[in-house]
A and B are shown apart, each in its own frame.
Chain A
Amino acid sequence: MKVPIDITINGRSYQRDVEPRQLLVHFIRDLGGLTGTKVGCDTSQCGSCTVLLDGVAVKSCTCLAVQADGASMTTIEGLADQGTLHPLQEAFWEKHGLQCGFCTPGMILASHELLRHNPDPSDADIRHGLEGNLCRCTGYQNIVRAVRHAADALAEK
């Protein structure tokens, strides 16, 4: 049995019929065709699938698509404003906050959530705030620098 749902992603409505068991991340990737959101694990540990659901960062592998019916979401594809990179994207680029790039979309959106709660975080705040996201390439150091850099850039705005 399929259920009709309507989820707005990056300002565009996606009306699809889905199985109730379908994970939100698969809705985004397979039905929405937005593959920037990654699946890195199956236990909600890695955070690669992090998206903003009604403005709040969630791990989209831990939500069912039907739970997001009627919601408005932002994925990594929707973060830049008409081609202008978001300060977090700029900062990850500027500070070499990524290597293979697989964790990066989730890491950027988790950082977005972190800065929403704490616009002026210390390095320790950033490290704690990103506990739910794993990166195997960077050792996190340049990610911390990137988030700090983005916080400064956003403060200047």
Chain B
Amino acid sequence: MATRLFGSGIRRREDPRLITGSATYTDDLALPGMVHAAMLRSPHAHATVGAINISRAQAAPGVLAVYTGKDTREGLQPMPCAWLVPDADLKVATYPCIATDTVRYVGDIVAVVVAEDCYQAYDALDLIDVEYDALPSVTNPAEAARAGAPQLHADVDKNQAFHWAVSGGDVDAAFKDAEVVVKERIVQQRLIPNAMEPRAAVAQYNQASGDLTLWNTTQNPHILRFLNSVVTGVPEDRARVIAPEVGGGFGSKIPVYPGEFITVFCAKQLGRPVKWNETRSENYQATTHGRDHVQEVELAAKKDGTITGLRCTVWAGMGAYLSTAAPGIPTILHGLMLPACYGIPAVKEDVYGVYTNTTPVEAYRGAGRPEATFMVERMVDRLAGEIGMDPADVRKKNLIAAFDDGHDTVTGLTYDSGDYPTALEKLLSHADYTALRTEQATARTSGRHIGLGLSTYVEMCGLGPSQVAGAIGFQGGLWESAIVRVHPTGKVHVFIGTSPHGQGEETTFAQIVADEIGVGADDVKVIHGDTDTTPMGWGTYGSRTTAVGGAALAKAARKVRDKAKVIAAHLLEAAVEDMEFVDGKYSVKGSPDKAKSLADVALMANVAWNMPADVEAGLEASTFYDPPNFTFPFGAHLAVVEVDPATGQVDLKRYVAIDDCGPQINPVIVEGQVHGGVVQGIGQALWEHAIYDDSGQLVTGSLLDYALPRAARLPEIEVLSTVTPSPHHPLGVKGIGEAGTIASTVAVYNAVMDALSPLGVEAIDMPFTPERVWRAIQQATKGH
């Protein structure tokens, strides 16, 4: 065991079942007597609901039941909002699981059918007659906030779900004294997360005992069990929530949804297991969307490039109702990051959360931070253009110098550690930025439009401590838990409260434990996603699984190691103070031959024939770890594009990412997270856009109409890193799940605008479809 597993790119332990088709996702479950539910969804963006005639559907072949909002009013409480951001005049509108009198977006549920098979259930949906009386609708958040806009909720004036503000430093003075001010109106278009596995639920309810088992495509089964008790009334001790294999989430599987609660309701009523799984097109309507900001941003600076202030107003579309964590995304996770990696000394932001007749918006990979990074990084490039300085030089001038013991921002955060200049220098040198600028200049002389786009970022992961959760209105804790249990043969079970769904923690967490207690990674099985077997935890999102859960696990493993040392000392008839843990063995200092393996110790601990005095039998430890602070990963990215001005086509030629997530447990997995994250961000810049028409119809309502990144449109992503440990994390690690997405959208945006700068194009709303780019070029060149 001389080799440390931490830092090794070993193959993933979850993969054998995934590459052979033997993994079980929610929709793969088949229980005896199982029946199928299908949801009837509103075709209107906004309408009053009149009579609903279900008699034809009830009589259809195979149909067991049809329920409308009237039937579920008693059994299903309204959907909870669990991030009640304080000091924001938050108005949580009533969000019924099944609409009763009004539907507020295309996709709002009006009825559910349960039938023997899913074909019969879908057939019966067509036989339900609903009388709708269409109402005016509004889908753009800035428009919905205007006087005279259609009102979604009678008790919410001007559709304003909240008004949140953050400020620090003297912003008025910064702008009064500014030598340069640059302004831009940025549209962070609405996106559809598109986890490849659509959402699904299977509910099994024992009417005699009152026990419920709910399998669900969730990122956080313990939160679901908690909120399920609120909505369906099944107490937590009677409910077992299982997140089996989950096929990606990207934030869209954080919230709780009406779908799973309605499935529970049906199972309770019928006493038979009920499965519900959404189609992809249904996913587009009914699973949460991301982004949807309209941002007005101003940056104040000196002529030498020194940034002095940032002022902005954001209208954040929230959709028709507030999803579980939604209010925290465009506020806490967004506004607090505005000082960015420059430590901007004066910041003020007003955020208006606005109800619109659209699918609810939630966390989507990066969740608030990509939108913040975009604003700052875009304005840095605008400043560079305004003062005629290279964007790299403006960044160098403003980056916070390296620090390892905290940096306080004017928004009240303390960055844990960072070395932003080194990351940027490494990026510029690896990419040979100077040569790229020369190549660009040469290309321009021959009419070719190459552009370089930079993005330097810092983000926050691993939110905590829980005291902060209370202060920011998060209706839960921010700690994590882990149990490490060693069996008589030295094999180890690890139980965690987080719930990975593709990120690979069954492997990386085994690597952590293996090093900490002296076993091989293959000796460790990581168990997650079942509320009956795992300790309470708050789930996998916000790049927190390793940042918080990994810390809990390291601490639990160290407790096991400490106990193992005591038992080994007893077996070796040595004093505990004379023991050491070297090369995975528990030995007497200076006498490596006098050593015990973990398996030796585990056998004795479990049979307990010869234990030290006052030491309990067993070899197991648990930890509840509440982090003292967030972690703050950072990095620097570069995109190189070429734009064809004749067609508006953008060709992404090169992408270089430098990310610093602290020490890497498994560099292969880290690289994979960066690849995926970067490509999702590129998707926002170049292709993806959820579009509603004037009547509130989602016109990009299927994968035929919504452009996801495909393999042939992407270059090889060059991935590099720097390593700056977090001073407060037991392993120094920071988190890497969202970094790529946070950095890449604006890097590509800046590159395209750089390419088009000789043509006088100043702004284009994303995505950079050929048509949009071509039109912007036509408009700009016409004016010259």
Contacts and interface: CB of A to CB of B under 8 A. Distances in A.
The answer to whether A and B assemble together is: yes
Interface of A: 19, 21-22, 29-30, 33-43, 45-46, 48, 75-77, 79-80, 85, 89, 92-94, 96, 98-105, 108, 123-124, 126-128, 130-131, 133-144
Given A22-B119, A41-B702, A102-B25, A136 B280 contact: no
A43 B703 contact: yes
A43 B197 contact: no
Interface string B543-583: 00000000000000000000000000000000000000000
Nearest to B710: A131
A69 to B, nearest CB: 19
Interface in B707-735: 708-712, 714, 716-717
B711 A101 contact: no
B672 A93 contact: no
A139 B678 contact: yes
A136 B281 CA distance: 17
Interface in B254-309: 279-281
B679 interface: yes
B280 A143 contact: no
B280 A43 contact: yes
Contacts of A43: 280-281, 702-704
A39 B27 contact: yes
Interface stretch (B347-355, B501-509, B638-646, B764-772): B501-509
A127 B358 CA distance: 35
Nearest to A134: B708
A135 B250 CA distance: 13
A141 B247 contact: no
Interchain residue pairs A-B with the least CB separation, the first 4? A36-B21, A102-B247, A100-B502, A101-B18
A54 B354 CA distance: 54
Contact of B281 (A42, A123, A141): A42
Contact of A35 (B15, B21, B502, B710): B21
Contacts of A124: 712
B154 interface: no
Interface of B: 11-12, 14-25, 27-28, 30, 117, 119, 194-198, 245-248, 250, 279-281, 501-504, 668-669, 671-672, 675-680, 702-704, 708-712, 714, 716-717
Contacts of A135: 196
Nearest to B193: A136
Contacts of B672: 96, 99, 137-138, 142
Contacts of B717: 139, 141
A100 B599 CA distance: 33
A77 B16 CA distance: 12
Interface of A is mostly: loop
B250 A136 contact: yes
A135 B195 CA distance: 9
A104 B298 CA distance: 45
Nearest to B719: A141
A123 B680 CA distance: 20
Contacts, number: 174
Given A43-B281, A93-B11, A96-B12, A37 B21 contact: yes
A85 B669 CA distance: 22
A102 B119 contact: no
A100 B675 contact: no
Contacts of B712: 124, 127-128, 130-131
29 contacts: A35-B28, A36-B23, A39-B198, A40-B196, A41-B280, A42-B281, A43-B281, A45-B702, A46-B196, A46-B280, A76-B21, A77-B21, A85-B19, A85-B20, A96-B671, A99-B676, A100-B195, A100-B245, A100-B502, A101-B19, A101-B23, A131-B712, A136-B676, A137-B676, A139-B679, A140-B711, A140-B714, A141-B714, A144-B711
B703 A100 contact: no
Contacts of B702: 41-43, 45
Nearest to B23: A101
Nearest to A141: B675
A104 B671 CA distance: 18
Given A35-B27, A46-B196, A133-B711, 13 more contacts: A19-B119, A30-B117, A35-B21, A77-B20, A77-B21, A93-B19, A96-B672, A99-B504, A101-B14, A134-B703, A134-B708, A138-B672, A139-B709
Contacts of B196: 38, 40, 46, 48, 100, 102-103, 134-137
Interface centre among A102, A134, A142 (most CB of B within 10 A): A102
Nearest to A40: B196
Nearest to B712: A127
A77 to B, nearest CB: 5
A137 B248 CA distance: 7
A44 B11 CA distance: 32
A92 B19 contact: yes
Contact of A96 (B245, B668, B708): B668
A108 B12 contact: no
Given A35-B24, A42-B280, A134-B703, A104 B19 contact: yes
A132 B642 CA distance: 25
A143 B27 CA distance: 25
B714 A136 contact: no
B280 A100 contact: no
Given A19-B119, A96-B668, A100-B501, A131 B19 contact: no
A101 B678 CA distance: 19
A133 B677 CA distance: 18
Interface centre among B19, B27, B119, B668 (most CB of A within 10 A): B19
B711 A131 contact: yes
Given A34-B21, A46-B280, A123-B716, A136 B711 contact: no
Nearest to B504: A99
B710 A40 contact: no
A19 B250 CA distance: 37
A85 B501 CA distance: 23
A136 to B, nearest CB: 5
A21 B23 contact: no
Given A36-B21, A42-B702, A100 B247 contact: yes
A43 B280 CA distance: 8
Contacts of A130: 711-712
Contact of B197 (A29, A40, A105): A40
A22 B250 CA distance: 32
A77 B28 CA distance: 14
A76 B15 CA distance: 14
Contacts of B716: 123, 141
B128 to A, nearest CB: 20
Contacts of A39: 27, 198
Contacts of B246: 100
A36 B22 contact: yes
